[in-house]
Amino acid sequence: MTDLYIVGAGAFGRETLDACMAAGITVVAFADERMVGTCVRRLPVVPVNAIPHAAAVVVAISDPIARRRLADAVTGAWDRTLQT
């Protein structure tokens, strides 16, 4: 399986990690601009633009407007990578 990144290291992101662990899915990192450089539940927190293009991503943000913005940021970061 491809690496899974959880966008959002807040409460919903941590709940998503719990669900992934229960399902046997390995999560390699959280992506959260506010917490870059820290660890959450022993996982590193990286910037959104550090997510590899081939990685699987789940956006774990409860606010629908913020969730859409972050989903667009993830795909936008990939688009910029493809253009260079």
| Other CB atoms within 10 A of residue 17 CB | 21
pLDDT computed for residue 22 by the predictor: 96
N residues, the chain = 84
In tens, the pLDDT along 36-64 reads 999 999 999 999 889 988 889 999 999 99
| Other CB atoms within 10 A of residue 81 CB | 12
Mean pLDDT (the chain, rounded): 87
Can you give the pTM of this predicted structure? Answer: 0.84
pLDDT computed for residue 72 by the predictor: 85
In tens, the pLDDT along 64-84 reads 998 888 888 887 755 544 444
